[in-house]
Structures are given as C-alpha cells and as structure tokens.
Amino acid sequence: MDDDPRLFDYVLRLADNGVVLAQRLGEWVGKGPALEEDIALTNVGLDLLGQGRMWLAYAREIEARYAPPGRGEDALAFLRDGGEFRNLLLVEQPNGSYADTMARQFLFDQWHLMLLGALAGSKDERIAAIAAKAGKEVRYHVERSADWTIRLGDGTELSHRRMQDAVDALWMYTGEMFAVDAIERGLVAAGVAADAASLQGPWRSAVAAVFDEATLAMPGDGWMQGATGRGGKQGIHTEHLGHMLAEMQIVARSHPGARW
Amino acid sequence: MYAQMVDTGVAKVRDVAEMTQEERAFQDRIDADVKVEPKDWMPDAYRRTLIRQIQQHAHSEIVGMLPEGNWITRAPSLQRKATLMAKVQDEGGHGLYLYCAAETLGVSRDAMVADLHAGKVKYSSIFNYPTLTWADIGTIGWLVDGAAIMNQIPLCRCSFGPYARAMIRVCKEESFHQRQGYDIMLALCRGTPEQKVMAQDALNRWWWPSLMMFGPPDAASVHSAQSARWKIKLLSNDELRQRFVDQTVPQADYLGLKVPDDRLAWSAERGHYDFGEIDWQEFHEVIKGNGPCNRERMQTRIKAWEDGAWVREAALAHAEKHAARERQAA
Ligand SMILES: [Fe+2]
Ligand SMILES: [Fe+2]
Ligand SMILES: [Fe+2]
C-alpha cells in the first residue's frame, strides 16, 4: 500500500514515545525519593518500554511490506540516529527534580490516555489492539502522576514552587502533542490515526481540573516548540536526545552484528 | 552473606544451665522447630541479632540496586533492558519485605536507613565492586544471585517467622535472576570473540568477591555458633561457600570460561572441589569502607535520600491538609 511508509512513520511516533520516556525513567532506578516510589516509577517505565516494543514490532511488519525484511526492534532502537527518532520533544526532556519528572509524566500521561482511547477505535486492527492493551496500563499511570501533581502542588511551599516551575518550563512542549502534520492528516482521513487536534480541548479540561486541585496556575499558551511541523515527530529534536541516545546505544553499536 | 558478619552480642554460647527459665523455654521451642513470631517473648540478644541481620540483608538489597542500575540505560537490547529493570525493581521489593520483617521487631525503617547512612550498619561487601561492562550484569545474576540463593534457601527455615516467610518469597525471584544472569553469560559465550573476552574478564573480577560473600571462615566464630543455636543461621559460612563452588564450577565449564583459581581441582576423596586461599585482607578492607566503590555507593544512597526529603515532606503535608479538610467537612 502506498500509505505504508507513512503508517510506518506514524507507528514509530507511538513507539518512540514509549522507548524514550522509559529510558528517562530508567535513569531514576535506585535513586527515587522513597523505596515505594522507586518501585512504582520503574513499573511505569517497564509498561512504557513494553508498549514501545509492541509498536516497534508492528512497525517492523509494516516496513517489511515495502522494504523486506524490515528492521527488528533492536535495529530500530539502537541503530537509528537522533534525526530518525519520532518521539515528542516533551518525553526526551531531562529528569530534573522529582517535580520536573512528575510534571512531564502527567502532561504526557493525560494526553497518552486520550490518544490511546481514540486509537482503540482505529480501522487498523493492530493499532486498535495495541492501543486497547496499552490504554489499560496508562489509566494507572495518569492516576499516579495526577496524584503526585496534586501532592506536590498542594504540599509544602517549596514543593508548590517546584511543581509550578516545572509545569511552566515544560508547557511549551505540550503544543506538539496536538499538532497534526501531513502524515497524520492522511491517516486520520483514512480512519487509521487519531485526530490529535481534537484531543486538545478535553486534555486542557482534564489538566485544568488537576491543576485546580493542586493549586497550580495554568500557564499561558505562548509559543509552542515543535508544533509547526518542525519538532520531534519530524525528527528535529532538542539537544537532550543525542546525549540520551549516545548512552543508550553505546554497547549495541560498539559490537556490530552481535547478539545479546 | 548479605549479612556477612552479624554480631550476636554474646561472648560465648550459653549452655542450658546458664539460661533462665524463659530462655530455656524459648530454646526448647526453637529446638522443636516452632516459629518465633513478633509478639512472642524472645531474648534481647536474639532480637538485636535478628534486627542486625535482617537490616544488613535489607540494606544489601537496596545498595545492590546501584551496581546493576548502572547498566539499565546502556543495556544492549530492549529485551535485556526490560529484564534488568524488572530485576532491579525486584531487589527494591526484597528490601521492602525485609524492612517490614525487621520492623516487626520494633525498629523503624527510617532508623535503619539512618544507621546505614551513618555507617553503623553494613551491607554486603559485594556491592562495593564496580560494574564495568555489560558482562558484569550477567555475572552478577549468575554468581551474586546464585550465592544469595545458596544462603537464603536455608533461611526459609529460620526460626523467626516473618524472616522465614520473606525469604520464601525472595528465593523464588532470586532463582529467576540467577537464570537470567546465566542466560546473559550464555549469549556472550556463544557470541563474538569480543563478547567471550568480556565474559571471561567479568568472571575474573567477580569470582573472588563472590566467594567472600559467605563471610569469614568458620574457625572460632562464636557469633555463628550462637546464631546456629537460635536457627537464624542454619549452615556455616564454609559449608555454604563449598556448596557454591561445587555448584558453580561445572556451570563455568559449560560456558567455556576458566575460573580464576589455579588451585581449583576436584577432590575425589572429599567429593568436593578444592579451591585456593581467599584474600581476607581485601575482604576486611572492603567491609571497613575501603573497597573500590564504598564511597560512591553511600554517597548515591545519601543523595537520593536527601534529594527526596522535600518530596516526602510534601506528601506528608498534603496528607495532613487533606485529612484536615475531611474533618472540617464531617
Ligand atoms: Fe534480592
Ligand atoms: Fe537477597
Ligand atoms: Fe536478585
């Protein structure tokens, strides 16, 4: 099908969000603010990694249709350069403090849940099935990250300030989640992709409700990074991704062809 | 081994004539294999020894997350990355059960953590060695989790109920870890020449520290004797070490790796492997804090704890606000 390269690109967007955010969460392991948190955050990371792998497996099938045999999950994860990654700019942002990590997580999780909800109705059966399965996990993710947004926002004076600063700093990366480019537009018309633009209103209301309980001010909508067709989804990333990939890919790339 | 040197606080094992009536009744129950539960009367020294032992074990699980966590971001395949994350997470879970078991003896987790950070309580010497290559992750699973199982299977029968039950749960997961570690080694040993070299190098570095995990030799260890009497240590350090060597050498042979000990040889007479002398000076130095990574490990733990303080305080403050609001609404 002529649409396959575009579908491949779209599925990579879904896959890379999972792989990249899981990689960030993996950096926290053993260093969380409490043992229970360490364990719970690793759970979320494991879910996202598992979802990323499901999307990558499907991406391979799609690629195999026009460029057989298609690249496997490890070739896709470890042998692509930064410019070939299709994740949102938001998920590659550094961990920072626990407030930064939780703000990033909440802003993403809330969108992710809505996106997967829409994708569960995709005409592409594989997409619908993966989205339905992932959606069950993400429901728990958003519960958790919303809860932490509230606890830190409405906690101490210090935690409130840190959470507000985190939300303010990350806000400019949220616009990209709702930006629909030509690749998505075609797939939306075909009933395959979710119309991300339509998620913006519901996402804003959900975020506003949590911020309200968290006593956090909603940031103003200024300029949004990557929202005009030159962002993570198109392979134009922040400087952070390159460093992350250098670390993630070092062993795999040092031993070409090796099996692990 | 995770608790390598547990001081029982007794100068010599007491014989029956020296015991009070309560102590005798307690010892009789232990001899009859009746489990001690937290609400039961127990000698102070038994309680203190167990707190120390379980605490050392718990801290070992937590500090042990660091050397392996060091490779999560660099794992060479997504499958291995997922398995390693889950493994390190399991170790955190082990720490959690063990802290809970120790808390039943009347010591809080915060107090235990404070003791660790103050250097008052030790953790296993093994986690003070660096993980330098991916093969170290395979070797740790194979040898370190292997040694942990060796030590913990008997502890499933130990006299203190909560500890015994925690060990049953933990052992199941440790044997998964061991198999996963060995599977990494198999892949490396069947892989490229560079991968095989990496595997041999890791075994060379981890072999002796793994043998040290079982603690000092048995000779003249009054603490071990008392712990044996109380059934909180069921096999001696040397027995466990021998079992470990006997089990592991054929596994190394199967991998085609050489155990770095020129004196290693099968003794038909003993029915065991003979092996070389352990460098006990190195062991004691590592225990004292002079191992290659002691400082980093403690700094990392203390930093995580201190950096997390404002998060824990916020959670507490929020919970209080929340409760106050609910009281007001009621
Ligand atoms: Fe463990
Ligand atoms: Fe253990
Ligand atoms: Fe383990």
Beta bridge partners of B265: B274
Expressed in angstroms and rounded, the spacing between residue B171 Cα and the centre of ligand 2 is 8
Expressed in angstroms and rounded, the spacing between residue B227 Cα and the centre of ligand 2 is 18
B255 touches chain A (CB under 8 A): no
Residue given tokens 């605490």 in the structure block: B55
Residues 139-198 of A with CB under 8 A from B: 150-152, 154-156, 158-159, 162
| Region A195-203 average pLDDT | 98
In contact, A219 and A167? CB cutoff 8 Å: yes
Give the C-alpha separation, B120 to A172, whole Å: 47
- Residuewise pLDDT in 10s, chain B (330 residues): 577 777 777 767 777 778 889 999 999 999 999 999 999 999 999 999 999 999 999 999 999 999 999 999 999 999 999 999 999 999 999 999 999 999 999 999 999 999 999 999 999 999 999 999 999 999 999 999 999 999 999 999 999 999 999 999 999 999 999 999 999 999 999 999 999 999 999 999 999 999 999 999 988 566 778 888 999 988 999 999 999 999 999 999 999 999 999 999 999 999 999 999 999 999 999 999 999 999 999 999 999 999 999 999 999 999 999 999 999 988
User: Residue A247 CB: number of other CB atoms within 10 A?
Assistant: 12
CA B103 to chain centre: 18
A34 touches chain B (CB under 8 A): yes
Span A100-110, pLDDT tens digits:
999 999 999 99
CA B89 to chain centre: 15
- Kindly report the backbone phi and psi dihedral angles of residue A44, in degrees, each rounded to the nearest multiple of 5, phi listed first: -60, -45
Interface pTM (ipTM) of the complex? 0.98
The per-residue pLDDT for B4 is 76
Distance from CA of A44 to the nearest CA of B (A): 11
Name every chain A residue with its beta carbon within 8 A of the beta carbon of B137: none
A32 touches chain B (CB under 8 A): yes
Please tell me the pTM assigned to this model.
0.96
Expressed in angstroms and rounded, the spacing between residue A162 Cα and the centre of ligand 2 is 37
The one-character DSSP state at B289 is I
**Which residues make Cβ contacts (< 8 Å) with residue B115, sequence separation at least 6?**
B55, B121
A53 touches chain B (CB under 8 A): yes
* DSSP track, A45-104: HHHHHHHHHHHHHHHHHHHHHHSTT---HHHHHHSS-GGG----HHHHS---SHHHHHHH
Name every chain B residue with its beta carbon within 8 A of the beta carbon of A27: 72-73
Residues 171-190 of B with CB under 8 A from A: 184, 187-188
Domains of chain A: 4-254 (1.20.1260.10)
The per-residue pLDDT for B3 is 73
* H/E segment holding residue B274: strand B272-274
Biggest distance spanned by C-alpha atoms of chain A: 57
List, in sequence order, the alpha helices (H) in chain A.
4-26, 35-66, 73-78, 89-92, 98-119, 125-153, 157-170, 182-189, 200-213, 239-254
Does the beta-carbon distance from A29 to B65 stay under 8 Å? yes
The per-residue pLDDT for A64 is 98
In contact, A235 and A84? CB cutoff 8 Å: yes
Residue given tokens 């959690």 in the structure block: B96
Name every chain A residue with its beta carbon within 8 A of the beta carbon of B181: none
Q: Is the pLDDT of residue A243 over 60?
A: yes
Closest CB to A77 among B78, B96, B313: B78
Residue in A with minimal Cα distance to B189:
A260
In contact, B260 and B208? CB cutoff 8 Å: yes
A235 touches chain B (CB under 8 A): no
What does pLDDT average to over chain A? 97
Residues 20-79 of B with CB under 8 A from A: 62, 65-66, 69, 72-79
Ligand nearest to the CA of B94: 1
The per-residue pLDDT for B41 is 95
Q: Which of B63, B66, B71, B81 to mutate to test the interface with A (most CBs of A within 10 A)?
A: B81
Does the beta-carbon distance from A159 to B308 stay under 8 Å? no
Give the C-alpha separation, B163 to B104, whole Å: 10
Expressed in angstroms and rounded, the spacing between residue A122 Cα and the centre of ligand 3 is 41
The CA-based angle B242-B245-B246, given to 5 degrees, is 85
The per-residue pLDDT for B8 is 74
Expressed in angstroms and rounded, the spacing between residue B148 Cα and the centre of ligand 1 is 8
List of long-range contacts for B257-264, beta carbons under 8 Å, 24+ apart: B257/B185, B257/B189, B257/B199, B257/B200, B257/B203, B258/B200, B258/B203, B259/B203, B259/B207, B260/B203, B260/B204, B260/B207, B260/B208, B261/B207
Q: Is the pLDDT of residue A124 over 80?
A: yes
Radius of gyration of chain B (CA): 21
The per-residue pLDDT for A12 is 98
